[in-house]
């Protein structure tokens, strides 16, 4: 990993392994700046969008990689391009709308135009007016296109990287974890809607939260409160060998097609009962008995299957103490009205108002507020040892969180 850096950091990891992290990692603007260079512009695949969001030539959407504004476009030849959304001239945003369809990109500031692949195709008043002004004869337009990212499409997910060193995506996350993406996105996807949730905390607190299978049943007590716990649930945590990526999953034992009637679930407390259990129903559609699967792709993608609620979550850092979480809620092409209605019901569980997810919106902020006072104090991650081993049958482990820090440290060089 190249350590040449525009930023000087004297940051030293203060512990022998990744089972401790100093609060400084959440509160230090210099580390945030270094992350932009070494992580987001480094050898990682950043999630950019779905192929179904830009199905036609000329379609584009805008997004971010770290702080860099990005345009994802489909060229006339059908190829997908990822471009930095910054005019080569004065640096203005070329696309200031979230999505659209165009034949070329035009920066409105001085009317410079670019192809869908980012090549500079036109400069206004290139030859000046009346023989005066304009570009010098030796100005080479081909050197002034929009900055391009390398793109890889894995299944229906589009990723981009600034680095030439990033290995192919399947190698980046490993076969075992690719298998879950293949398992969930088995049919052509369609977007059912977007949520955006602003989290008052550093992006890494949310990235860790997704890898923290230990907190799930403790913080999110909706299931237990209402006694909607299926008996005989198995599951575990899979972690890529380098620790960076993970999958936490739950499998039920029975394929009895369960409308989750109150009689089919074990009641832990009799005091609260759901009046309406439709949002807990699960139509088996993926060819297996997995009920929940939360998968992370380092650094900022979460692939979600919660019953029939399918989604990708994109973590966008917005400064060292603010994060925007973009939820793209998915269904399959060909879903009938009943299936769409079921997905809409189950989506009550997740999102900014999700009955089993809303807590994740605030806990990170509580860490952020408490962490600032003493950046050298440390968070400890002792559950399930100090390594990054996978765990079969139990999710009471912080191995995947330690895996996150293993990846962060490798890229940051600390």
Partner 1 sequence: MSIEQTLNDQLALHLRVNDLYADYAHTLDDDRLEEWPGFFTENGIYRIVTRENRELGLPLSVIYCDGRGMMIDRITAMRTANVYEPHVYCHATSDVRVLDANNGEIRTRSNFTVLRTMTSGETSIFACGRTFETLIEEGSKLRLRERIVVLDSRRIDTLLVIPL
d(Cα 202, Cα 28) in Å, to the nearest integer?
10
The least CB distance from residue 190 to partner 1, in Å, is: 9
Q: How far is the CB of 360 from partner 1 (least distance, A)?
A: 8
Q: Which is nearer to partner 1, 140 or 276 (CB)?
A: 276
Residues forming contacts to partner 1 in the complex (CB under 8 A) are: 98, 191-200, 219, 221-222, 224-226, 272, 274-276, 278-279, 324, 329, 340, 344-345, 347-348, 351-353, 355, 358-359, 361-363, 365-366
Smaller CB distance to partner 1: residue 89 or 264?
264
> At its nearest, how many Å lie between partner 1 and the CB of residue 65?
19
Backbone angles phi, psi at 271, to 5 degrees: -75, -30
Q: Hey, what are 191's tokens? A: 């977007």
Q: How far is the CB of 338 from partner 1 (least distance, A)?
A: 13
Please answer whether residues 380 and 212 qualify as being in contact, where contact means their C-beta atoms are separated by less than 8 angstroms: no
Q: Give whichever of 30 and 340 is closer to partner 1, judged by the CB atom.
A: 340
Nearer to partner 1, 61 or 395 (CB): 61
Q: Are 388 and 406 in contact (CB under 8 A)?
A: yes
Q: Which is nearer to partner 1, 62 or 345 (CB)?
A: 345
Question: In DSSP terms, which residues pair with 193 in a beta bridge?
Answer: 329
Count of residues in the chain = 414
**To the nearest whole angstrom, how small is the minimum distance from the Cβ of residue 197 to partner 1?**
5
Of 363 and 367, which CB lies nearer to partner 1 in the complex structure? 363
Question: Are 315 and 289 in contact, with CB atoms under 8 Å apart?
Answer: no
Q: Please tell me the distance from the alpha carbon of residue 143 to that of residue 251, in angstroms, as a whole number.
A: 53
Q: How far is the CB of 206 from partner 1 (least distance, A)?
A: 12
């Amino acid at each position: 990993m190249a350590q040449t850096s525009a930023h000087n950091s004297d940051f030293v990891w203060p512990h022998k392994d990744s089972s401790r992290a100093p609060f400084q990692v959440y509160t230090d603007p210099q580390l945030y700046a270094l992350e932009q260079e070494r992580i987001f512009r480094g050898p990682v695949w950043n999630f950019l969008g779905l192929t179904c969001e830009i199905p036609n030539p000329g379609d584009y959407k805008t997004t971010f990689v770290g702080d860099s504004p990005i345009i994802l476009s489909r060229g006339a030849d059908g190829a997908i391009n990822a471009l930095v959304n910054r005019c080569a001239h004065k640096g203005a945003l070329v696309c200031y709308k979230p999505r659209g369809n165009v034949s070329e990109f035009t920066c409105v500031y001085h009317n410079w135009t670019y192809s869908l692949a980012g090549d500079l195709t036109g400069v206004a008043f290139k030859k000046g007016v009346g023989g005066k002004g304009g570009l010098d004869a030796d100005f080479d337009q081909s050197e002034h296109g929009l900055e391009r990212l390398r793109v890889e499409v894995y299944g229906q997910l589009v990723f981009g990287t600034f680095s030439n060193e990033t290995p192919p995506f399947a190698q980046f996350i490993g076969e075992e974890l690719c298998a879950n993406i293949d398992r969930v996105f088995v049919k052509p996807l369609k977007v059912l809607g977007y949520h955006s949730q602003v989290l008052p905390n550093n992006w890494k607190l949310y990235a860790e939260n997704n890898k923290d299978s230990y907190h799930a049943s403790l913080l999110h007590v909706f299931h237990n409160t209402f006694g909607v716990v299926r008996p005989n649930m198995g599951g575990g945590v899979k972690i890529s060998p380098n620790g960076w990526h993970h999958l936490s999953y739950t499998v039920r034992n029975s394929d009895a097609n369960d409308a989750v009637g109150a009689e089919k679930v074990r009641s832990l407390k009799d005091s609260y009962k759901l009046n309406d259990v439709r949002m807990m129903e699960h139509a088996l559609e993926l060819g297996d008995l997995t009920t929940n699967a939360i998968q992370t792709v380092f650094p900022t993608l979460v692939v979600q299957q919660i019953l029939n609620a399918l989604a990708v979550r994109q973590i966008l850092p917005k400064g060292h103490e603010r994060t925007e979480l973009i939820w793209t809620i998915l269904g399959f092409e060909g879903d009938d009205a009943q299936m769409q209605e079921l997905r809409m019901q189950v989506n009550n569980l997740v999102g900014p108002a999700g009955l089993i997810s809303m807590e994740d919106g605030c806990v990170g902020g509580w860490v952020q507020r408490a962490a600032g006072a003493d950046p050298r104090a440390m968070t400890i991650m002792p559950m399930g040892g100090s390594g990054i081993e996978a765990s079969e049958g139990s999710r009471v482990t912080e191995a995947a969180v330690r895996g996150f820090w293993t990846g962060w440290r490798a890229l940051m060089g600390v």
